[in-house]
Chains A and B, each alone.
Chain A
Amino acid sequence: MPSALAAYRICDFTGQLAGAGATKWLAAFGAEVIRIEDPVRQGRWDILRGNPPYKDERRGIDMGGAFNNHNTDKLGITLNLKTDKAREILRRLVALSDVVSENFAAGVLERWGFGYDALRAIRPDIIYVSNCGFGHQGPYSRFKTWGPIVQAVSGLTHTSGLPDQPPAGWGYSYMDHTGGYYMAMAILAALLHRQRTGEGQWVDLACTDAALTLNGPALLDWTVNQRGLRVAPVYSNRDQHGFMAPHNIYPCAGDDDWIAIACRDDAEWASFSALINQPWTGSFSGLSARLEGQDELDRLISAWTSTRDKFETESLLRAHHIPVGAVQKPSERIDRDATTGRFGLWPTVEHSAIGKVRVDGQPMHFSVTDWQQTRGAPCLSEHTRQVLTGLLGYTDAEVDAFQAEGVL
């Protein structure tokens, strides 16, 4: 099967998830992603390197499960950029690369002497994509972020939670994932522009900009109707704009088991009422009755669900064409839910130190140029010699000398 992106080489400084997730996509579609790491700190500018989870009892800088998950199919080299020789090696690599990618705090690469002007001097059509929390321009450009901070500032945290409770926000870095998706889009778009015009450019991506746009209808409600969400009660399990009820997450019989149920219209409510066969459903026959009595409605539905198994209830409601989804635990959606397995969503990769391990795959299939994830993340410096001798034209003796001098 041909690879969609085999024509492209990425000189990759990204790390963690907001950056590494972007270049993981490119590598899965065949791009040659060469990850550059710092030998002095053993690549720890990516805090995930060497950190849990671990597949077995072994520990160490190469054994981190999260790092492996985000860096499949990439090559890894080390360069001590405090040395002139490493900087010269980097210049050679940039000259042979289509893209330079990074998600450091604003200005870090510039301070190392590899800002956009320096990169462009090495290769005029280079594409440089930076991804930082607040971007390189604007009042907050010096401010630092990680996923939860992006979510907080952009409005994604405030809106998520239950009434009379603090914000629940997101129990993971939604905007590290999603920032990575936008970074991948930015790189791909810049490559398309170059394919058409031959021009490179610098794309200054800001995770918070992208995050801000993810509450669009609410923002228009603000700009058009001056209705804001600071004063509105937060109840994110209910329907966003009050045109469906019931619409909530209800308790089930098992340990921390829950189920999401919604009725989009009177017909689905009628099906649900017939199915559960409870005397009280008659008092909720119109949408306005269900919206006005929603607290009571939710209490009554909870009483019905709370003695029932979540998956049996899910099957029952599905059979009656009522929108439903059991709240799946990781074990359930990965190993019990046959749809993810059939999709091939959890490929097993071979990591040079960890061995075989399952990772997040990609959630689509291409009929001609599908993705492939077969190789685990690079061990620290795993491909340094291969890249320097195979791609950059150094001899083995030169690489030996670089190693002896602390360049690599």
Chain B
Amino acid sequence: MSVLSGIRVIEIAHERIAFAGKLLGELGADVILIEPPEGTRARHYPPFVDDIPGIETSLYFWHYNAGKRGITLDLDTSNGVTELHTLLRTADVLIESEASERVASLRLDANTTARTNPRLIHVAVTPFGRSEPLSDLPEVDLTLMAAGGPVWSCGYDDHSLPPSRGWGFQGYQTGCHFAVMSVLTALLYRGNQPSGGGQFIDVSITAALNVTTEGASYNWLVEGSTLQRQTGRHASLRPTGETQMQCADGRWANTGVPPRFPVEFARLLDWLRTLGLEDQFPEAVFLEMGAHWEGPFDLSRIGVDDTITAVFAAGREALQLIARTVPAQAFFEGCQNAGLAVGVINSPEEAFEDPHFKARGMQVPLYRPDLDRTVIHPGPPFSLPLSPSRLQRPAPRLGEHNQEIVGGS
């Protein structure tokens, strides 16, 4: 049993919400994806298996729809709409991202779905919220990320370069995170009600992005100040020191906060000695001072107190010297062993092949009988020991479950 075993989710296929259905499926829900007879648009999104486009070979579709069952319904016909409402009577959750005209034609206004099924948790995830006309206009992840705030804070010190978007459909995924939190919250509430207990939940993707920007929002809200983007580190009111270092193998690492505690200076000095680099680093004397520092090492005195400034700078320079000497993975592990929160900047596949994530079970094989092929998927993102998450099945073929769910229509 998984935590949502027995919970049925109806998802009207749309790329904006596919990730929410996937997460609910991993928690054990029976997620039924409703596609038009010709298949949903995302079936045509690259990349494809062996680079051969086809309605059953989109890896984009495979990822976001793994774990679901799939049916086709022609929602442009009254029979299709009737069938949809028949399904809604059996469902616990509806997730949709329809434009207002379709909400009307599918009779998906909140009053109607509540009458159809008083237990139903109906979640709409739209670009600006259900009542905003802007939600009906075309968009892509990039335009939502620009409007919603993340883009402003990301990019480079050089502001003649454009700000950059965090990659990977994170705009859609952020909306979906809130959709899933909402569903779980509403299920808990419903579970404590003797009858009824369903409700309508109106998620705005741009609102979700607006509250997922850390200081950019609350600096403006609290003191009316505007953070400025910087290369590979937090946007800031005033420029801060660089945190990314390029290592001997050309890969990068993020060094976060440089050493500031005696034990960190001490271990860094040890590491320099182990690598035989102390002779090349006259500032080692400042590391020695840092290692024997007594009382608080007050970072706010950098630039004011000469000794604190020199010790802090020596920590950063020692890291740069080591980075130039060792590969990024060794730099990462060495820094962590010295107690420093440093990260190697992996590509996604490097992360995926890392022994740590393999040991944590992040590679999940799924067999696709139609292609007689086992495919390794990522996930799930977390799991409950007593009711484990799992990917229940590969993404559905078009109409794969028509027969078992709606009797062959």
Contact = CB atoms under 8 A, between A and B. Distances in A.
A171 B49 contact: no
A328 B152 contact: yes
A155 interface: yes
A237 B232 contact: no
Interface in B348-389: 348-352, 354-357, 359-360, 362, 375-387
A363 B207 contact: yes
Contacts of A185: 23, 177, 180-181, 184, 382
A189 interface: yes
B178 interface: yes
Interface string B59-99: 11011100000000000000000000000000000000000
Given A159-B347, A326-B146, 4 more contacts: A189-B27, A220-B377, A249-B142, A361-B211
B349 A181 contact: no
B222 A240 contact: no
Contacts of A168: 154-156, 164, 231-232
A202 B383 CA distance: 10
A171 B230 CA distance: 7
Nearest to B61: A217
Interface in A196-232: 196-197, 199, 201-203, 205-206, 208-210, 212-225, 227-230
Given A159-B168, A213-B378, A223-B375, A334 B210 contact: yes
Interface in A117-166: 133-135, 137-140, 142-146, 148-162, 165-166
B140 A264 contact: yes
Contacts of A201: 384-386
B286 to A, nearest CB: 23
Contacts of A362: 178, 211
A85 interface: no
B46 A241 contact: yes
Interface residues of B, number: 148
Contacts of B218: 53, 65-66, 69, 359-360
Given A153-B351, A210-B381, A328-B146, A161 B139 contact: no
A168 B161 CA distance: 11
B168 A240 contact: yes
A228 B349 contact: yes
Interface residues of A, number: 153
B167 to A, nearest CB: 4
12 contacts: A68-B222, A146-B256, A148-B343, A185-B180, A193-B384, A212-B362, A220-B377, A223-B376, A236-B165, A323-B140, A334-B217, A369-B189
B167 A160 contact: yes
B252 to A, nearest CB: 6
Interface stretch (B126-134, B269-277, B312-320): B126-134
A394 interface: no
Nearest to A177: B212
Interface stretch (A87-95, A253-261, A275-283, A381-389): A253-261
B117 interface: no
Contact of B352 (A7, A52, A219, A258): A219
A337 B231 CA distance: 27
